[in-house]
Amino acid sequence: MPVAQGTHFIYTVRPGDTLYSIAQKLGSNVQKIEQLNALYPPFTDPGLIYPGQDLIVPYLYNPANQVFYFVKPGDTLYGIATRYGSNIQRVLSLNPQITDPNLIYSNTAIQIPAMIYEVSSGENLNAIARQLGVSVEQIIQVNRYRPGFSPDVLYPGYGLIIPAS
């Protein structure tokens, strides 16, 4: 499977969230969230999520290839840009609604320079990184808070966040 088509959100699980409530809030469905995040046996109990985990959530109603990140308390535009292998100017160009780069609000969705890649059977991080022109270290860095992520074993259908090259 190549780069996933459509709009996706990077959503950090909060206390009290369920997959159903996240799907309802973000226009998605539980099954696709489970698949992209390996939230099924043998990796975990179905639907088991914890506060602080970053989930990939597909938005079902927009075919545009975009990835949005929900700003967390303490985030800076510089920190977000750096995490996704970019710079403030690139993030600002994707988000003209941000008029002051020093002022971003928690829980706001901002577009980030990244893509979602759905793993195919037999693929590994080295091959994916080479194919997409990013380093293995960058892929590990942006996916480290994701459920089901292991740099050594990738499962078909699992979604990887790929930072801007």
| Per-residue pLDDT, 20 | 96
Domain residue limits, the chain: 7-163
What whole-number percentage of the chain has pLDDT above 90? 79
Q: Which amino acid is at 131?
A: Q
Residue 2's nearest CA partner among 157, 114, 147, 125 is 157
Model confidence at 15: pLDDT above 70: yes
Average pLDDT over residues 67-96: 95
Average pLDDT over residues 91-118: 95
Average pLDDT over residues 140-160: 91
Residue 24 CA to residue 133 CA, distance in Å, equals 35
| Per-residue pLDDT, 148 | 85
How many CA within 13 A on the CB side of residue 71? 21
Average pLDDT over residues 73-84: 94
- What is the chain's Cα-based Rg? 15
Tens-digit pLDDT profile for residues 123-140: 999 999 999 999 999 999
Identify each DSSP E strand in the chain by its residue range.
Answer: 7-12, 54-59, 66-70, 109-112, 114-118, 159-163
Average pLDDT over residues 17-23: 96
| Per-residue pLDDT, 42 | 72
| Token pair listed for 150 | 């292991």
**Residue 158: Cβ within 10 Å count:** 24
What is the DSSP secondary structure assignment for residue 110, as one 8-state letter?
Answer: E
Domain at 7-163: CATH architecture? Roll (3.10)
| Token pair listed for 11 | 């959503």
Model confidence at 26: pLDDT above 80: yes
Helices (H), 95-145: 125-132, 136-143
Strand pairing category for 114-118 and 159-163: antiparallel
Model confidence at 165: pLDDT above 70: no
Average pLDDT over residues 85-100: 95
Average pLDDT over residues 102-126: 95
